[in-house]
Amino acid sequence: MTMQNYRFITEIWTDGPKLTIASTSWKSMVEHERLDASYRAFIAELCRRIGAAGGRTVFQTGSPLILYWIGVIVFVGATLALAGLIVRALQIGAWSGAAFIAAFLGLFLWQAGNFFRRNRPGPFRPDAIPESVLPRG
């Protein structure tokens, strides 16, 4: 597990064990080093070569479909619940409580929204990797 918030993972599934390739590397016991440009170039070339080799290869982005949509439902429910709490706090005049919940809601929307934007499931062609699944080069 890592606290690196800007990390990309590529998983290669075969008949054998899964191969995981990350866009960061441990620099020390507590620090990660971002390898954005080299990771981007490596994954683009890997997809190009696998695609050119043919075979029954499937290129997919994001989280597993069922987990993604369960997460979206929980995300929407939590967003509506927090918005309801803000409204209720404003109704009873708890201005500081409403401000605190609004700040938390903003942070929640920013973090979870980015997660769901970057992890949308779907297929792609090996010559057209979606920009949302690669680090900025």
User: Mapped to the 3 state alphabet, what secondary structure does the chain carry?
Assistant: CCCCCCCCEEEECCCCCCEEEECEEECCCCCEEECHHHHHHHHHHHHHHHHHHCCCCCCEECCCHHHHHHHHHHHHHHHHHHHHHHHHHHHCCCHHHHHHHHHHHHHHHHHHHHHHHHCCCEECCCCCCCHHHCCCC
Residues 102 and 78 both lie in one domain = yes
Task: Output the pLDDT for position 54.
Answer: 83
Q: Say what the pTM is.
A: 0.74
Most confident of 32-36, 93-97, 116-120: 93-97
Task: Output the pLDDT for position 29.
Answer: 81
Residues 70 and 49 both lie in one domain = no
Between 95-118 and 65-91, two packed helices, what is the crossing angle to 10 degrees?
170
pLDDT band at residue 71 under the 50/70/90 scheme: very high
Q: Tell me the average pLDDT across 21-44.
A: 88
pLDDT band at residue 133 under the 50/70/90 scheme: confident
**Would you say residue 4 lies in a domain?**
no
Q: Tell me the average pLDDT across 103-124.
A: 93
**Would you say residue 26 lies in a domain?**
yes
Q: Tell me the average pLDDT across 111-137.
A: 88
pLDDT band at residue 14 under the 50/70/90 scheme: confident
* pLDDT of 110 above 60: yes
Task: Output the pLDDT for position 4.
Answer: 59
Residues 47 and 90 both lie in one domain = no
| Count of structural domains within the chain | 2
Whole-angstrom Cα distance, residue 24 to residue 5?
Answer: 10
* pLDDT of 2 above 60: no
Whole-angstrom Cα distance, residue 111 to residue 11?
Answer: 23
pLDDT in tens, 72-90: 999 999 999 999 999 999 9
**Would you say residue 2 lies in a domain?**
no
Residues 82 and 103 both lie in one domain = yes
